[in-house]
Amino acid sequence: MPLALQITLDKILHAIANTKSTLQSKIDSVAAELGLLRADHASLSERVKTNEGTLVELQPAQKALQLQVDGLTNRVQVLENRAEDAEGRSRRNNVRIVGLPEKVEGNDMIVYLEEWVKTSVAVDGLSPFFALERAHWVPTRPPAPGRPPRPVIARLLHFRDQDTLLQKARTNGPYTIDNAKVSKIGRAHVELQSQR
């Protein structure tokens, strides 16, 4: 074989060997990376299976909690309705008196109003058990001199006495106390607060 051909053939074989070793190192590198990817995939697969198991275990608990929340929501609605009804019923016997002079009641607003109602507003028609449970000025600052007095809120013990009182006030009013005109006696639509 001629020398030139031998040199060319040696160069080709050398190039093939270099290419083979380069390819082998790259294949080894890819194989190592594939091994790492397989390990990551196995780890992720295990975590996914664990999470799926946890989700399967949590679904009944979540359904139970949802049922409990729905039940509590319904219960809250029922209780809100009852509270609103009770609040309305507690105000049903309230009367508002506008124009009663400030400090005319002395030390006891209830005793003063009971006597005033019996002697001036509803002389007859009240039940023998007529009584006021509570009475107080609307809780604001006392007015300045020359300003109209605060309204008084009174809670009657019996609803029928309230009806009688309001009817008598409409037909026989207006009333005067110490030369001051009581301008209105009517149903109270304000929240009853305890006397202070």
- Which H or E element spans position 135? strand 132-137
pLDDT at 196: 28
Mean pLDDT of 25-48: 86
Nearest to residue 150, comparing CAs of 185, 102, 91?
102
Q: What is the CA radius of gyration of the chain?
A: 47
- The residue extents of the domains of the chain are 1-91, 93-187
Lowest-pLDDT range of 8-12, 134-138, 169-173, 180-184: 180-184
Lowest-pLDDT range of 77-91, 133-147, 154-168, 178-192: 178-192
Beta bridge partners of 153: 96, 136
Phi and psi, residue 49, nearest 5°? -65, -40
pLDDT at 189: 55
Domain 93-187, CATH 3.30.70.1820 — does that match?
yes
Residue 95 sits at the vertex; the CA angle it makes with 90 and 96, to the nearest 5 degrees, is: 125
For residue range 61-114, list pLDDT tens digits in order. 889 889 999 999 999 999 999 988 887 777 778 888 888 888 878 888 888 888
